Amino acid sequence: MAIKSNPLGKITVQLNGEITTIPKTTIEGLLLDHKLNANMVIVELNGTIIDKKNHTTTRLAEKDIIEIIRYIGGGKNS
């Protein structure tokens, strides 16, 4: 599926394997929109893991490929 441009202040990106349209924002804004705690996820942008300290300044752009990986606790106590 081709990614198309949207001129209304929105961008089309691939988010966790799905083509979707989102508002122009930063990584921090995307996480807030999805109610995700930045301390509980890793964000990969176009194949590069983005340091949490850069979430507020890293702007998302048309055709970006974003993967959000959540930490999941668990395991067996010894």
* Domain CATH for 31: 3.10.20.30
The tens digit of pLDDT for each residue in 29-78 reads 999 999 999 999 999 999 999 999 999 999 999 999 999 999 877 767 65
> Domain range for residue 36?
10-70
The reported pTM is 0.81
| Rounded distance between C-alpha atoms, residue 61 and residue 70, angstroms | 22
Total count of domains within the chain: 1
At residue 46, what are phi and psi to the nearest 5 degrees?
A: 50, 40
The verdict on residue 50 lying in a domain is yes
In a domain, 3, yes or no: no
CA distance 60 to 45: 9
- For residue 64, being part of any structural domain is answered with yes
Residue 76 lies in a domain: no
